[in-house]
Amino acid sequence: MKYLSTRGEAASRAFDDILLEGLAPDGGLYLPEHYPRFDAAQLAALRELSYPELAHRVLREFVAPADDAALLALLRETYTAATFGSDAIVRVKPLDGAISLLGVSEGPTLAFKDMALQLLGRLFERALAASGAELNIVGATSGDTGSAAEYAMRGRRGIRVFMLSPLGRMSAFQTAQMYSLDDPNIHNLAVQDVFDTCQDMVKAVSSDLDFKRRRSIGTINSINWARVAAQVVYYFAGYLRAVGRIGEPLDVAVPSGNFGNILAAHVARSMGLPLRRLVLATNENDVLDEFFRSGVYRPRSSAETRQTSSPSMDISKASNFERYVFDMLGRDAARTRALFADALARDGRFDLSADPAFARMRDGIVSGRSDHARRIATIREVWERSRVLIDPHTADGVAVARDHVEAGVPMLVVETAQPAKFADTIVEATGQQPPRPPGTEDLERRPQHFVVIDADVDALKAYIDAHCAGN
């Protein structure tokens, strides 16, 4: 399998070449040259498989591994009951009526990002061992990405993590999850400023090409193709477990921010999985809902980006959206470049409402928006009706899913995080504390390890220099 860029670079790269990379050199995002297809008989055969075996069948198409048995062994090491809470790894949990939850947030940091990052940690370590190189991952987090990345990379050889976070602006649980780690290769850098400032510092470090090369700087953001590929697997698992007979339709609702998770659903459908409709749910930061309603894509400024009670969906632009638009434009790289490079730079927006591709997009993805009041009402209603606590992001998914349920078609809502991570909102909605998953009872009382650094790029570079080996 070869990889090409959404902006025109030819299909010439292998999976291992793009594994550690962010954007393609032409500014686009990598995609496989085609999506492998599974027919009904092949899908039916997948039903017998364990989760690691299923992941192997799906991912080997994308990875094209030199050593197939080694890939299976790595997947068996990644997707264990010890790490993900059950041998099933992901579970379908009936909620009410046609709606079930797809439980993909049972990993070490209680958000779905573990599903991909736990695998990436092992893939990165293996790739670095083969080349003898090291990798310094510099990232910024508003909560879930940072902890998932740190838990995936802790103790891994050849890898250090420098994670910037906005001091005092994450939930107490999220803060404790990250700062309680004291592995020597994990550096929590707290900045007395907002998340956007942290992100700007990361961008400044990555765009200093000399420093980037000298210190082998990498990132771990949601545009990494391997992350998307790992997420494709749980849509297969969800479908196989949710339907009676292969071929029956299934709708899926996805609480969305950077469009990574729902992109994985689009890829799964493109591989032959009979997903009927994808339901995209946003919070008050509704860039994507606006697009699917109007055909106009208009990224927001940071001043327009709101801090909400579903914080992991607080985005100003959707980093993975370009991949989907590229596919839906029949993989026309020149048009994709004209929209994402030229029109966005020139006008800050583009409009596809008159394009026949937009009608096709709306056949496949419908959208809706939630807000704080709906979120709270949904958490309360689900609790009162079903005695199930759902987290605020999942609540946005359930709220929007209810608007789009159709008779006879089951609906899976992706449960993107556990309620324990967002206790304040759960208390506001239900008057009670969410239960603590085993092993997290004393989390906030553990010693915390972090360094406060100035909101200054030179201070960040100096810190990285001082903590790289062989200095």
Ligand X SMILES: *Cc1c(COP(=O)(O)O)cnc(C)c1O
Report in angstroms how near the CB of residue 61 gets to ligand X at its nearest.
Answer: 21
DSSP reduced 3-state for 277? strand
Write down the residue that tokens 């799906």 correspond to: 58
Site for ligand X contains 31 (CB under 6 A): no
Q: Does 116 bind ligand X (CB under 6 A)?
A: no
Judged by CB under 6 A, does residue 413 bind ligand X? Answer: no
The torsion of the CA quartet 429, 430, 431, 432, rounded to 10 degrees, works out to -120
Among the listed ranges 76-84, 250-258, 337-345, 402-410, the one in contact with ligand X (CB under 6 A) is 250-258
User: What is the DSSP pairing of strand 296-297 with strand 350-351?
Assistant: antiparallel
In 329-436, where does DSSP find H-type helix?
333-337, 344-347, 356-364, 372-386, 392-404, 423-430
Q: Does 234 bind ligand X (CB under 6 A)?
A: no
> Which of residues 114 and 251 has its CB atom nearest to ligand X in the complex?
114
For ligand X, which is the closer residue by CB, 100 or 261?
261
Does position 177 interact with ligand X (CB under 6 A)? The reply is no
Residue span binding ligand X (CB under 6 A) among the ranges 258-266, 293-301, 428-436, 444-452? 258-266
> Residue 261, interface with ligand X (CB under 6 A)?
yes
User: Which two tokens mark 112?
Assistant: 């779905």
- State CA 48 to chain mean position distance: 27
Closest of 116, 122, 51, 46 to residue 90, by C-alpha? 51
Q: Give the one residue of 5, 78, 180, 256 binding ligand X; rule: CB under 6 A.
A: 256
Q: List the structure tokens of 212.
A: 């980037």
Terminal Cα distance for the chain, rounded: 39
Q: How near is the Cβ of 171 to ligand X at its closest, in Å? A: 11
Catalytic residue flag (residue 113)? yes
**Interface with ligand X (CB under 6 A), residue from 185, 221, 312, 367:** 312
Query: Residue 5: helix, strand or coil by DSSP?
Result: strand
Sketch the per residue contact string, 370 through 399, with ligand X: x for CB under 6 A, - otherwise.
Answer: -----------------------x------
Exactly one of 84, 259, 297, 324 binds ligand X (CB under 6 A); that residue is 259
The per-residue b/e assignment along 65-89, b for 16 or more CB within 10 angstroms, e otherwise, is beeeeebbebbeebbeeeebbeebb
* Interacting residues with ligand X (CB under 6 A): 111, 113, 144, 222, 255-261, 312-313, 393, 416-417
